[in-house]
A and B are shown apart, each in its own frame.
Chain A
Amino acid sequence: AQKVTQAQTEISVVEKEDVTLDCVYETRDTTYYLFWYKQPPSGELVFLIRRNSFDEQNEISGRYSWNFQKSTSSFNFTITASQVVDSAVYFCALDSSNTGKLIFGQGTTLQVKP
């Protein structure tokens, strides 16, 4: 069975702090894809990044960075120098190439205070 766990329900930081959102996944497939999405108050999910199971290179995009570790089944997301506009709900998701299902975690609500 596939499962995504985001253990942090809510995180509150002060602007300019760094923050890491955790994501742990479970799958028996050898080929799979991991995603991060951002959900602002408007409700529509916005795609941030996709990673396949064969590429463990970390990725950096501006203030965002992602750490993928197969050994611990984790795909963590770090925001450096957080800003108020980063306040949103963040979702981690898992897709198995065998089923076409796209499974999401419970989400982490990030509040960045000025």
Chain B
Amino acid sequence: DGGITQSPKYLFRKEGQNVTLSCEQNLNHDAMYWYRQDPGQGLRLIYYSQIVNDFQKGDIAEGYSVSREKKESFPLTVTSAQKNPTAFYLCASRWGNTNTEAFFGQGTRLTVV
């Protein structure tokens, strides 16, 4: 079945450690997105990529990094520079610049312990 897979579903990280969240899609979509969801703040855009080997910062990119080496993969690294990383992270993908609807993964809940 086609879709977006995020892993792991739950992730615990010690303060000061980097952690990488996985996002894989087999929909052949060009564009991929990472969002952070906090209570009362909706979805905030971290990074997005419209094509392989290219990506742009969203509204809250500080403390995060991404790569887009393959069309189907868009991993997000939460670095130790991110001061408040505990949140729910959602990955999405869609066809390129055609303004189509985005498809979402089931999310990763990251907790700093």
Q: Mark B73-113, 1 if CB is under 8 A from A, else 0.
A: 00000000000000010101010110111111111000000
> Is B43 an interface position by the 8 A CB rule?
yes
Is B61 among interface residues, defined by CB-CB distance under 8 A? no
Cβ contacts A39-75/B at 8 Å (1 or 0 each): 0001111110010100000000000000000000000
Chain A residues within 8 Å of B, Cβ to Cβ: 6, 9, 33, 35, 37, 42-47, 50, 52, 91, 95, 97, 100-107
**8 A-B pairs with the lowest CB-CB distances in the bound complex, closest first:** A106-B42, A104-B43, A47-B101, A45-B104, A43-B107, A33-B99, A107-B42, A44-B106
17 contacts between A and B (CB under 8 A): A35-B101, A43-B107, A44-B105, A44-B106, A45-B104, A46-B104, A50-B100, A52-B99, A100-B48, A100-B96, A100-B97, A101-B45, A101-B48, A101-B58, A102-B94, A104-B42, A106-B40
Cβ–Cβ contact B100 & A104, under 8 A: no
A residues in contact with B42, CB < 8 Å: 6, 91, 104-107
Interface bits B13-36 vs A (CB < 8 Å: 1, else 0) = 000000000000000000101010
Question: How distant is B85 from chain A, measured CB to nearest CB, in Å?
Answer: 18
Query: Shortest CB–CB separation between residue A94 and chain B, in angstroms?
Result: 10
